[in-house]
């Protein structure tokens, strides 16, 4: 092939193996002395217009240089311009290099790309061929090396092509097999026919036919051998590649696990340092705020000794129940967008605050006196409950408390990969995620709601107060006390089955009794009614919950109603957001944050509570709650401060100074309105249960057949039989789904009948047993209200109306579960 003359400004074409001299100078020298040609094959790159960067005689071969791309030959002026001027690349590991004549050599990938290159002499050509062969050997070595697996990760297209090639080879094998069978049968027939002939003439023709059949059979056999060889070679190559991919994946996983472990250790260390720093900052205040130990009779209502203290409180907004949509009923729930907690949805610029200046408290216990001289004691005193108006029967007051259990079986140490379950749950509704009991605690959501009444003495105290502002302070303390049990409770309760109920009669010690029922399954919703000494409380509870990867956010929806039977004061409020942090890495911890408005619809009083979100870098007291009680005209009456996991203090506002713009509340002495009781010994080994929580699932006779105490999977978990509990949990959920399908089928059948002769008959879907829908006088929404006949049916032991939601002993025995 005659070389073509190129222009003086030649485009270089070089491998990434750089020679010792600059290629631009070499090209200029080569252009002056001789021409270099590039021949393009079909489906190849466009011919470069400026020549090619090939070495001259006086240039050492580039085989000594380390390639930047390690296994690719590319055509470009310089390495830096490769990204936008490269004419093409060939993987040297799969390249074929051969010579055509004394000065020309060809590089091809065996497919559509071929580079025909011409050197100035045979010696120069041989140097290039030698350098490229060495580069090819190094590329193959890199490809087979375990140390550089990350350089050889195939993409999805390559993997698909590889599998298709393997399938094609297998198809060739099948074709060859069919051909061998066919030719073998024909060959055998020819042999059989030859054995049956008599004359020599026929024998000659048959021998010729046998030779032809034998030749065809040999050809088919050779094709089969070639196909087998190709298939085996391809399979071996793929096996090595997949083995390296698997090894690389294993190594990457080990590295990821090590990195996550280091991250967890660093985060734990950061938490420890942050706690030490916060303790150092708050230690002077804590020393002055030391709480004197009290006896069981005195509980916690003692005076506090501390110096003058200042803090800020958030003032209430004009709008009642600020968080949109959190109190909707089941009928309007589908129309509500996902709400945000008040702490997230409300900007800082819209928050009004006031500064509180607290006077020094007296060291002796005090009792507050209302305007007409009636005393409101801070102590639980059963003798003061005698003349109270209440829905609790008089016979229940003064009963001797029954002996209840003090402990449950300790939690087994079962290991479970949380991420293997949670990685597929990101963004899903928590109630729709199938979770094993390993993440649960042996209580249902109905029982967790009942646990809110552990500090019902706050409501008892509120019922005794005659000043509405002071009563509001104790109601606020009760709402805060319900979060004290969430400090270390990172396990989720069981989702109640539709129709599941729970009763808790504690009139003998706490003075209240409660009933809860799961009234809806989609969305999950439960209704609860509790009556105590001088008060009654009802609520409809549902929630929106999302798993966000790092944390789990639970946004309660529904309004709680409280009414005092003596005064008729009617209170409402909504719960704040609960967040479980470190779902994947680190120690799980719970935070409650947001803002809550408590409204007395009888007097117009309001209490605005702010739950501060926990922050490592804030100098505020962790889990801090502040609040202010205002009357119907918006004037501050009481202030509250404390933490939701320990105690709350309240003080009456005696003066308001607004001369400096930001209001300043001057208060009287502070006193405790609530203080958390210490947990029982060993609670950390019993799911961090409080004493009341330990007693909630204790077996009890004469309860309804649908009571949570009778739920078998929950009972098995409490007994430490987690594997059996998981099996029974699946069976219960399947039974619930079958019941739902039956109701849907009945609804469809009813609809078809309505269109026919029985039109006009309305189908009645599932209805709760102990609750019914009524219009809420406060919100105007439909809510589930207590019918008021549960305890009468219990006295008669008539549970005939209860649905069959659990498993019978025969069904459990069939699966060898007792």
Tens-digit pLDDT profile for residues 13-56: 333 333 434 444 544 554 454 444 333 333 333 333 333 444 33
pLDDT at 27: 43
Pairing state of beta strands 96-99 and 104-108? antiparallel
CA distance 405 to 718: 14
In angstroms, what is the C-alpha Rg of the chain?
A: 42
Give the residue carrying structure tokens 């699946």.
Answer: 730
CATH code of domain 309-733: 2.40.160.120
Q: Where do you find CATH 1.10.287 in the chain? A: 156-274
- Count CB atoms within 10 A of the CB of residue 662: 12
Dihedral of alpha carbons 614, 620, 623, 626, sign:
negative
Q: How far apart are CA 503 and CA 283, in angstroms?
A: 44
Please tell me whether residue 556 adopts helix, strand or coil conformation.
Answer: strand
Domain at 23-144: CATH architecture = Roll (2.30)
Enumerate residue ranges in the chain where pLDDT < 50. 1-24, 26-27, 30-31, 33-69, 146-154, 283-308, 320, 322-350, 361-391, 393-395, 760
User: What pLDDT digit, counting tens, does each position of 144-162 carry?
Assistant: 654 444 444 445 677 777 7
Question: If you ran DSSP here, which 8-state letter would residue 2 be given?
Answer: P
**Domain covering 156-274 in this structure, CATH number:** 1.10.287
Q: What is the pLDDT of residue 11?
A: 39
Structure tokens at 381: 């005193």
CB atoms within 10 A of CB 654: 10
CA distance from start to end of the chain: 92
pLDDT score of 419: 60
Integer Cα distance of 791 and 770 in angstroms:
10
Q: Measure CA 168 to chain center.
A: 43
Total H helices, total E strands in the chain: 15, 29
Beta bridge partners of 623: none
pLDDT of residue 608: 95
Is residue 494 a contact partner of residue 736, using CB atoms and an 8 Å limit?
A: no
What pTM was estimated for this model as a whole? Answer: 0.60
Burial of residue 220 (CB within 10 Å: 0-12, 13-18, 19+) is buried
CATH 2.40.160.120 positions along the chain are 309-733
CA distance 476 to 651: 13
pLDDT of residue 295: 39
- 500 CB neighbour count, 10 Å cutoff: 27
Q: Where are the beta strands (DSSP E) in 82-238?
A: 89-91, 96-99, 104-108, 114-118
Residues contacting 640, CB < 8 A, separation 6+: 313, 473, 476, 477, 607, 609, 625, 626, 627, 628, 629, 648, 649, 650, 673
């Amino acid at each position: 092939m005659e070389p073509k003359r190129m222009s003086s400004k030649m485009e270089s074409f070089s491998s990434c193996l750089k020679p010792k001299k600059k290629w631009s100078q070499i090209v200029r020298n080569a252009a002056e002395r001789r021409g270099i040609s590039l021949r393009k094959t079909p489906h190849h790159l466009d011919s470069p217009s400026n020549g090619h960067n090939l070495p001259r005689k006086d240039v050492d071969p580039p085989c000594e240089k380390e390639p930047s791309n390690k296994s690719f030959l590319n055509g470009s002026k310089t390495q830096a311009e490769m990204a936008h001027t490269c004419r093409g690349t060939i993987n040297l590991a799969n390249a074929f290099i051969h010579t055509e004549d004394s000065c020309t050599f060809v590089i091809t990938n065996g497919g559509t790309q071929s580079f025909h290159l011409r050197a100035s002499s045979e010696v120069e050509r041989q140097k290039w061929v030698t350098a490229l062969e060495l580069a090819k050997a190094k590329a193959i070595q890199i490809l087979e090396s375990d140390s550089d697996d990350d350089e050889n990760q195939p993409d999805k297209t390559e993997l698909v092509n590889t599998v298709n090639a393997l399938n094609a080879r297998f198809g060739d094998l099948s074709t060859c097999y069919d051909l061998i069978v066919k030719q073998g049968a024909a060959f055998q027939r020819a042999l059989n026919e030859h054995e049956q002939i008599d004359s020599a003439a026929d024998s000659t023709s048959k021998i010729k036919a046998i030779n032809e059949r034998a030749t065809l059979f040999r050809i088919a056999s050779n094709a089969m051998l070639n196909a087998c060889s190709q298939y085996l070679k391809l399979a071996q190559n793929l096996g090595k590649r997949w083995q390296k991919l698997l090894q690389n994946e294993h190594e990457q996983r080990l590295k990821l696990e090590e990195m996550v472990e280091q991250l967890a250790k660093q985060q734990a260390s950061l938490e420890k340092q942050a706690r030490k720093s916060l303790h150092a900052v708050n230690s002077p205040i804590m020393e002055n705020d030391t709480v004197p130990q009290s006896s069981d009779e005195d509980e916690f209502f003692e005076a506090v000794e501390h110096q003058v203290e200042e803090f800020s409180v958030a003032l209430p907004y004009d709008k009642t129940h600020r968080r949109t949509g959190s109190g909707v009923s089941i009928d309007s729930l589908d129309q509500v967008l996902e709400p945000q907690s008040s702490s997230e949805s409300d900007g800082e610029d819209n928050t009004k605050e006031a500064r509180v200046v607290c006077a020094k408290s007296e060291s002796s216990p005090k009792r507050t006196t209302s305007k007409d001289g009636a005393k409101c004691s801070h102590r639980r005193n059963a003798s003061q409950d005698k003349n109270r108006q209440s829905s609790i029967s008089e016979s229940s007051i003064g009963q001797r408390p029954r002996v209840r259990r003090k402990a449950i079986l300790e939690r087994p140490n079962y290991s479970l990969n949380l991420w293997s379950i949670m990685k597929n749950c990101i963004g899903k509704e928590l109630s729709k995620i199938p979770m094993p009991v390993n993440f649960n605690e042996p209580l249902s959501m109905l029982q967790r709601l009942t646990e809110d009444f552990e500090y019902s003495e706050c409501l008892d105290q509120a019922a005794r107060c005659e000043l509405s502002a002071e009563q509001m302070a104790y109601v606020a303390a009760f709402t805060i006390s319900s979060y004290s049990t969430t400090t270390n409770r990172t396990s989720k309760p069981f989702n109640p089955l539709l129709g599941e109920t729970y009763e808790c009669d504690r009139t003998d010690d706490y003075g209240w009794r409660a009933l809860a029922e799961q009234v809806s399954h989609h969305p999950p919703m439960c209704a609860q009614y509790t009556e105590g000494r001088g008060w009654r409380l009802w609520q409809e509870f549902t929630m929106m919950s999302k798993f966000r990867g790092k944390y789990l956010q639970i946004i309660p929806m529904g309004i709680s109603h409280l009414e005092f039977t003596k005064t008729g004061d009617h209170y409402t409020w909504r719960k704040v957001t609960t967040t479980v942090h470190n779902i994947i890495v680190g120690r799980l911890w719970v935070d409650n944050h947001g803002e809550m408005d408590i409204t007395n619809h009888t007097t117009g009083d309001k209490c605005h509570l702010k739950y501060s979100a926990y922050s490592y870098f804030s100098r505020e007291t962790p889990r801090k709650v502040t609040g202010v009680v205002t009357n119907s005209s918006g004037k501050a009456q009481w202030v509250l401060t404390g933490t939701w996991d320990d105690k709350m203090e309240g003080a009456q506002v005696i003066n308001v100074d607004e001369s400096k713009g930001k209001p300043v509340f001057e208060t009287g002495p502070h006193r405790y309105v609530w203080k958390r009781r210490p947990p029982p010994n060993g609670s950390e080994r019993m799911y961090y249960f409080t004493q009341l929580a330990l007693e909630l699932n204790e077996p009890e006779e004469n309860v309804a057949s649908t009571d949570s105490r009778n739920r078998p999977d929950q009972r098995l978990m409490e007994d430490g039989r987690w594997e059996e509990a998981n099996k029974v949990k699946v069976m219960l959920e399947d039974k619930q789904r079958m019941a739902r399908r039956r109701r849907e089928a009945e609804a469809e059948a009813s609809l078809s009948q309505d269109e026919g002769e029985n039109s006009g008959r309305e189908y009645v879907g599932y209805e709760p047993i102990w609750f019914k829908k009524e219009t809420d006088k406060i919100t105007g929404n439909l809510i589930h209200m207590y019918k008021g006949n549960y305890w009468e049916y219990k006295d008669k032991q008539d549970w005939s109306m209860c649905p069959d939601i659990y498993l019978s002993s025969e069904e459990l025995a069939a699966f060898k579960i007792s």
